[in-house]
């Protein structure tokens, strides 16, 4: 089966899971630019990260969370996705709560953490779910844009059996100049899948927890059905 990934991935990581029955191709549909900004005191605010890029830019700009929970200024960390959690661990910081998408995280915060004050480090195209929901519940929320996402709007020329998407912005970038004429369409998570559904009535195969390995295993399982036909 031929599959088009709308993101540059580690080819070995992909082939190790998919095996020899899949031919993988990669198309960059968005470009990320980390922004430079002066670090400011985090106080006792809780921190929200909804992407790896948000984490990367946060630390590249010299921000440092206070991890001593006994101190006056202590920063609890919340995030979306296993990959974001692992990237925070790479910098030596644990996560208080991880959810698979922004909606689930906002619901958790409203239910359990309404007295906390939050700073959300994110991109310019981040979904407004947290920004819309938390203030409605009188929860202090501040959004800090630490990276920009540029949509590249590529023109795809080729023939593939399947396509895989990794973000709502990636979906919008691809669909601008291309159709969704594929036997199978994959999305890394529910939020990305919801964006794809705006443009097609076709079934969307959706991975769990915004996790690449889970998505690749799903592609292998469902894609082999095409290969065996």
Residue 229 is predicted with a pLDDT of 53
Per the structure, the complete domain to which residue 221 belongs is given by: 2-29+152-227
Q: Is the dihedral of CA 146, 210, 216, 159 positive or negative?
A: negative
**Could you list the mean pLDDT of each consecutive 10-residue stretch along the chain, which spans 229 residues?**
96 93 95 97 97 98 89 91 94 95 96 97 94 96 98 94 96 97 95 96 91 93 77
Where b means 16+ CB within 10 Å and e means fewer, 120-133 reads bbbbebbbebbbeb
Residue 133 is predicted with a pLDDT of 96
By C-alpha distance, which of 101, 143, 149 is closest to 124?
Answer: 149
Domain end among 149, 177, 197: 149
Q: Are residues 100 and 205 in the same domain?
A: no
Domain end among 92, 116, 149: 149
Residue 109 is predicted with a pLDDT of 98
Angle between helices 129-136 and 102-112 (to 10 degrees): 20
Residue 187 is predicted with a pLDDT of 98
Q: Are residues 117 and 163 in the same domain?
A: no
Q: Are residues 57 and 131 in the same domain?
A: yes
Total of domains in the chain: 2
- 97: tokens are 């709560």
Q: Are residues 179 and 96 in the same domain?
A: no
CATH number for the domain including 72?
3.40.50.10090
- 187: tokens are 């999305």
Domain end among 149, 183, 204: 149
Residue 220 is predicted with a pLDDT of 95
Q: Are residues 86 and 185 in the same domain?
A: no
> How far, in Å, CA of 144 to CA of 124, rounded?
9
């Amino acid at each position: 089966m031929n599959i088009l990934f709308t993101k540059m991935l580690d080819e070995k990581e992909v082939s190790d899971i998919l095996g020899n029955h899949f031919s993988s191709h990669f198309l960059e549909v968005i470009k990320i630019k980390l922004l430079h900004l002066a670090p400011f005191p985090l106080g006792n605010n809780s921190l929200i990260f909804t992407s790896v890029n948000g984490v990367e830019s946060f630390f590249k700009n010299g921000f440092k969370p206070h991890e001593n929970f006994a101190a006056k200024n202590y920063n609890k960390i919340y995030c979306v996705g296993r990959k974001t959690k692992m990237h925070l661990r790479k910098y030596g910081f644990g996560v208080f709560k991880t959810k698979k998408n922004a909606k689930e995280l906002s619901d958790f915060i409203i239910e359990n953490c309404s007295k906390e004050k939050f700073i959300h480090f994110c991109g310019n195209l981040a979904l407004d779910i947290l920004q819309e929901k938390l203030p409605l519940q009188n929860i202090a929320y501040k959004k800090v844009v630490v990276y920009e996402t540029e949509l590249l709007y590529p023109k795809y020329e080729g023939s593939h059996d399947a396509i895989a998407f990794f973000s709502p912005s990636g979906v919008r970038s691809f669909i601008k100049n291309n159709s969704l004429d594929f036997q199978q369409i994959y999305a890394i998570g529910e939020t990305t899948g919801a964006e794809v559904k705006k443009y097609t009535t076709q079934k969307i195969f959706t991975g769990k927890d915004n996790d690449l390995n889970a998505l690749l295993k799903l592609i292998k399982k469902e894609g082999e059905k095409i290969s065996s036909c």
